[in-house]
Amino acid sequence: MENKKQVLLVEDEGYVIERVFSILSGFKQPSPAEFETVRAENGDSARKWLEEKSFDLVITGIYVHGMSGLEVLARAKAKNPDVCVIVTGVIDSADLGSKAVKEGAFDFVIKPAQLNKIESLIKLWLITNPKDSL
């Protein structure tokens, strides 16, 4: 049996959490990927998870109480340089989102308008990283 993708969701906004869980639970293409997802609702929880585990995919808000998305990105990449990190934020944080991409994030998604983009980004990540695909 293949391993499930380890996913960390660092987010404190309910509608984003619901949308991401919906995307991951219904994921069908390009393969019937399976994800084991844990949630960190603040910086302390994110630090704990990032110290304990290596993740394949991290979806983080640019601002989460107690830790910035840039710090989440840096810690996740330090633990697993191949991790796919998708950063979310409001349009006013687009400059920080651009900085996150320059520092290694897979992409920046403006919420709430672009949340559906997360699914296509995960598909692209799975397609372009066949060694990581399920």
Determine the pLDDT at residue 1: 39
Residue-wise pLDDT tens digits, 20-65:
888 888 776 545 567 889 999 999 999 999 999 999 999 999 999 9
Strand ranges inside the chain, DSSP E: 5-10, 35-40, 57-61, 63-64, 67-68, 84-89, 107-110
Strand ranges inside 1-110, DSSP E: 5-10, 35-40, 57-61, 63-64, 67-68, 84-89, 107-110
Please state the domain extents for the chain: 5-132
The encoded tokens of residue 61 equal: 């808000």
Q: Domain 5-132, CATH 3.20.20.150 — does that match?
A: no
For residue 43, give the nearest of 8, 71, 6, 4 by alpha carbon: 71
pTM of the model: 0.89
